[in-house]
């Protein structure tokens, strides 16, 4: 089994549509979570607060710079996630296609690297604390 994150991404328009039909979308999302749990693939799901309440720490200069809110030119925002433990990427995609959503929203499916994995080209490095 492998862990996959279903990353919910939305625009201002799709986020407004979510809020307009929140009760119905919440009910169908809870039903979706129940299906995930019955299938034994559910690990976690969380939604994020309003992006306007966030801060960004930019490390491109000599010292980190903290600014309010999301990136100025962001068209899509990360709104929350589902974490699944499934047999394959295709299974994660099939679950993502069933996730309740509104027009204009997107779901990114990304595998979560295992604790024993290293970035490509660094396989020879010993794990920290393995002595």
* pLDDT tens sequence for the chain (131 residues): 899 999 998 887 888 888 888 899 899 999 999 999 999 999 999 988 877 788 888 899 999 999 887 665 666 778 899 999 999 999 999 999 999 988 888 999 999 988 777 766 665 554 555 44
Residue 76 corresponds to which tokens in the numbers above?
A: 């899509």
Cβ distance 6 to 96 under 8 Å? yes
Of 40, 45, 33, 50, the closest CA to residue 5 belongs to 45
The DSSP bridge partners found for residue 84 are: 4, 42
pLDDT, residue 33, reads 96
Cβ distance 36 to 42 under 8 Å? yes
């Amino acid at each position: 089994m492998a862990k996959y994150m279903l990353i919910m991404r939305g625009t201002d328009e799709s986020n407004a549509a979510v809020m307009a039909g929140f009760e119905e979308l919440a009910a169908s999302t809870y039903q979706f979570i129940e299906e995930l749990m019955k299938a034994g693939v559910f690990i976690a799901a969380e939604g994020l607060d309003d992006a306007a309440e966030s801060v960004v720490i930019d490390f491109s200069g000599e010292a980190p710079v903290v600014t309010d809110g999301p990136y100025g030119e962001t068209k899509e925002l990360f709104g929350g996630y589902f974490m699944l433990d499934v047999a394959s990427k295709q299974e994660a995609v099939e679950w993502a296609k069933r996730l309740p959503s509104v027009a204009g929203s997107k779901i990114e499916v990304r595998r979560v690297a295992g604790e024993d994995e290293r970035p490509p080209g660094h396989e020879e490095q010993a794990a920290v604390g393995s002595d």
